[in-house]
Amino acid sequence: MFGSKKPETICPLLKGACIESRCVWWTQIRGKHPQTGADIDMPDCAIKWLPVLLIETSKETRQAAAAVESLRNESVTASQQVAGAIVHLAESNHVNKLENKS
């Protein structure tokens, strides 16, 4: 524990030791981890975080698609109700005109 060195991280771009804060890919990550829910506030390699961020993006995209589908379904239901009311009004207006002619 004491005196043990942390293992050297190999950069996939440099094919050598990670240069950490001197690298343009070194980024401050803040938020919640999408799989554990733990708070995150740490600098780290953006390439290392790509899989986690892609999972989070997929999740958000699915939620947005579900919300759009729900809104679409509500819009279809509302337009069907309006169309039914218009047909009913037109039929009753037509019947009234026929009764007035007699």
Domain extents in the chain:
10-101
**pTM to 2 decimal places:** 0.61
Confidence of residue 56 (pLDDT cuts 50, 70, 90): confident
Nearest to 34 by CA among 62, 69, 7, 9: 62
Q: Which residues contact 20 (CB under 8 A, 6 or more apart)?
A: 26, 43, 45
Task: Quote the DSSP letter at residue 39.
Answer: E
pLDDT in tens, 66-83: 999 999 999 999 999 999
Residue 79: predicted pLDDT: 95
CA–CA distance, 31 with 76 (Å, rounded to integer): 37
Please report, for residues 38, 60, 64, the alpha-carbon distance to residue 34 in angstroms, rounded to integers and kept in the order given. 8, 10, 16
The tokens for 20 are 């950490």
Task: Quote the DSSP letter at residue 22.
Answer: G
